[in-house]
Structure 1
Amino acid sequence: MTFKALQPLALLAALLFSGFALANGGEIAPQAGNPTEMVWQAAQQGVEGYTTSQSEFHPQLINSYDLQMLDWRNDWLSYGLFAALFGMIVVFIAFTVVNGPSKLSKGFSGKMVNRWSKADVAIHWLGAIPCMLLILSGLVLLSGKVLIEPALGTGAFAGMASAAKLIHDYMAIPFMIGWLLMSVKWAKNQIPAKYDLDWFMVVGGYINFGPFKGKHPHSGFANAGEKMWFWTLVLFGAVLSVTGTILLFPNLVEPSRALSLTVLLVHAGAAIVICAFAIVHIFMTTVLSEGAMECMVSGYCDENWAIQHHDLWYDEIKANGTLKYMEK
């Protein structure tokens, strides 16, 4: 169908829309030019018409509130999640190259001390694996339209987005369960203490140069950095769980369109914070702290690692008789 053939239809639409607007008190100033442009301009200006629909914003073709919220999503949050993931990775790679890992000053003892129960290890991975899958799939869903589709093309992105949507939906519940169990079960060991300030003053003893080199601050079962990560996870995990439930099961609360968009933005903002902290946590346990990863693989840690990084906890279990070594 040619453009000329469409002109009568566009003119009819313009007349009808103008009539609707006038019936509701709206005014459209007569303008010369393409009738289609007149309709589009009126819609952009928020001129209201008449409809039998009772939904929110029913008399408006274009809702400026929606556009503002989508602009925030596309211009800020989509780049924020991308920066939180890849930006933190770049920062820690650079830091590792300059600083190097934090080595055990006395080397490995060969004696493995029980630190986490099998249930704790299972709970950790119940939350950790879905968390990473949610971050990656969320990156595709939140940032893909802006950052991935222009690079890979619409066809490739469409396949990625479909897979990401399924992963995100199915991993949400396991993450919530893991988050809830960790929050309840581990909170008792995450209470801030006075010596946590000393831990921050020397950056946990992970700096290998200058006045910080060789510093090993006191720490209980959890050091100050772990406590900060835990309470961040508790708080923003709660935000993710509540907003995620609303997005996953909209019929439970029957949110308005405005509430749905607000929930989406809050969900994305909380995801950015969790993503940044998760990258720090992963690098600390796998690269920066020698011997740390073993804790969440077997539940045991090397005795020298326990003494160097969690001396107060080690002294406590040694004194009360709960020190338990791995059987060979």
Structure 2
Amino acid sequence: MLNTSLNKSLRMMFALLALIIGIGLIMPTAYAADDQSSKQQAASTSDADLWRAVKAGESGYSTDKAIEANVLINKAGNEGKEIRNVYIKPAIVVAVFGVFGAFLFFYLVNGPAKLAHGFSGKMLERWTKADIKLHWVMAISCLTLMLTGIFIMLGRHFIAPYVGDGLWASIIAVSKFVHDWSGPIFIVSWLICIIKWMPLQTFKMYDLKWFLVVGGYINFGPFKGKHPDSGFANAGEKMWFWTLVIFGLFISISGLMLVLPTLDLPREASIAALLVHGISAAILIAFTIVHIWMATVLSEGGMESMVSGYCDENWAIQHHNVWYDEIKANGSIKYKS
């Protein structure tokens, strides 16, 4: 009987000991598994927060001492790229094809502004030789910048798909080189033009009528034959001049910010300069196309003055009568011998 009780007690003790040992083995493993799960969950949450912060443009730490080296992803850069692709690129396309197409349609329907009394054959001086050279230096550099800028901005869409990679790389490299070196020529000539011609570009009350009758360029309806008063520069030329002054300044400053190697600008400033550059370019391209149309095919005899410096007397009377009356009255009129 005693042996039976002892055996039973020993079995219970061994069972209890086995239970304790089992619990001792299981609990650390379970705790470790639970701790690992908690760590994984915390790590997952931490990683998500980290990348959310990175994408939001928050700065971290880097041993690189360059400006904004601590920012892995620049939010302003991504937003600027979206603005350029969604708004500025289409605006440049509209400026080139839309404005050109509109004036082509106007020309086909309306025709050029003819001289009411034909050419007189008497040529009077309108521009000096220095003015002509200055105009063409600025004009050629400006057109070069516009053409190469269009290649740089839009070439990947309408050139790159149709040429090989090697040729496209050469086109974009040459475009950038020419664009960068034409810039200083434009800036210097633009600044001289502003200083030299600004006194001739002040708006007068009679300029309002010029806009109301569309400058006398319409050959049908109630506007036909209406030749508004105009000084040395008509209202349209004055508007073009001040557009060139304002947006030429914007495009010059932003261009210098983008190309000068010594400037270490924050990314936000570089993106702002790029956007201002693109917007200014779209506006100047549109106004340049208008200026070229108005000065050439839409105005009979208009181009001659910027080639030789002389204009026909009847052209001066019809398009710039106030200026003609002034130089005739003060005796400063100069005829081509």
Rg larger in structure: 2
- Residue 25 of structure 2 corresponds to none
1:50 positional shift: 4.4
- The code of the aligned residue for 2:245 comes to V
- Residue 99 of structure 2 corresponds to 88
* Corresponding position: 1:62 with 2:73: yes
Is residue 79–residue 143 contact of structure 1 (8 Å, CA) maintained in 2?
A: no
1:64 positional shift: 2.4
Question: Unmatched 5+ residue regions in structure 2?
Answer: 1-39
Determine which of 138, 145, 151 is the counterpart of 2:149.
Answer: 138
- Residue 258 of structure 1 corresponds to 268
Taking structure 2 as the reference length, the TM-score comes to: 0.82
Separation in 2 of the partners of 1:203 and 1:46? 51
1:49 positional shift: 5.7
Q: Secondary structure at the match of 2:189?
A: helix
- Residue 246 of structure 2 corresponds to 235
- Residue 223 of structure 1 corresponds to 234
Structure-2 change in CA distance of 1:316 and 1:49 (3 Å): closer
Is residue 74–residue 143 contact of structure 1 (8 Å, CA) maintained in 2?
A: no
* Corresponding position: 1:148 with 2:167: no
- Residue 198 of structure 1 corresponds to 209
Determine which of 297, 318, 326 is the counterpart of 1:316.
Answer: 326
* Corresponding position: 1:279 with 2:289: yes
- Residue 182 of structure 2 corresponds to 171
1:302 positional shift: 0.4
Separation in 1 of the partners of 2:257 and 2:75? 23
Aligned pairs, how many?
297
Is residue 96–residue 285 contact of structure 2 (8 Å, CA) maintained in 1?
A: yes
- Residue 170 of structure 2 corresponds to 159
Is residue 74–residue 267 contact of structure 2 (8 Å, CA) maintained in 1?
A: no
Q: Secondary structure at the match of 1:287?
A: coil
* Corresponding position: 1:302 with 2:312: yes
CA displacement 1:22-47 (0-9 Å, x = unmatched): 7xxx81259xxxxxxxx988965768
Is residue 77–residue 269 contact of structure 1 (8 Å, CA) maintained in 2?
A: yes
- Residue 187 of structure 1 corresponds to 198
- The code of the aligned residue for 1:133 comes to T
Structure-2 change in CA distance of 1:153 and 1:95 (3 Å): farther
Question: Unmatched 5+ residue regions in structure 1?
Answer: 1-18, 31-38
* Corresponding position: 1:249 with 2:268: no
CA displacement 1:114-143 (0-9 Å, x = unmatched): 000111111101110010010000001112
Is residue 78–residue 146 contact of structure 1 (8 Å, CA) maintained in 2?
A: no
Of 70-79 and 221-230, deviating more is 70-79
* Corresponding position: 1:27 with 2:46: yes
Separation in 2 of the partners of 1:124 and 1:160? 28
1:82 positional shift: 2.2
Identity %: 50
Q: CA RMSD in A?
A: 2.5
Q: Secondary structure at the match of 1:298?
A: coil
Is residue 100–residue 288 contact of structure 1 (8 Å, CA) maintained in 2?
A: yes
Taking structure 1 as the reference length, the TM-score comes to: 0.84
Of 139-148 and 115-124, deviating more is 139-148
Q: Secondary structure at the match of 1:191?
A: coil
Q: Secondary structure at the match of 1:301?
A: strand
Separation in 2 of the partners of 1:204 and 1:77? 30
Determine which of 131, 134, 148 is the counterpart of 1:120.
Answer: 131
- The code of the aligned residue for 1:183 comes to I
Structure-2 change in CA distance of 1:190 and 1:45 (3 Å): closer
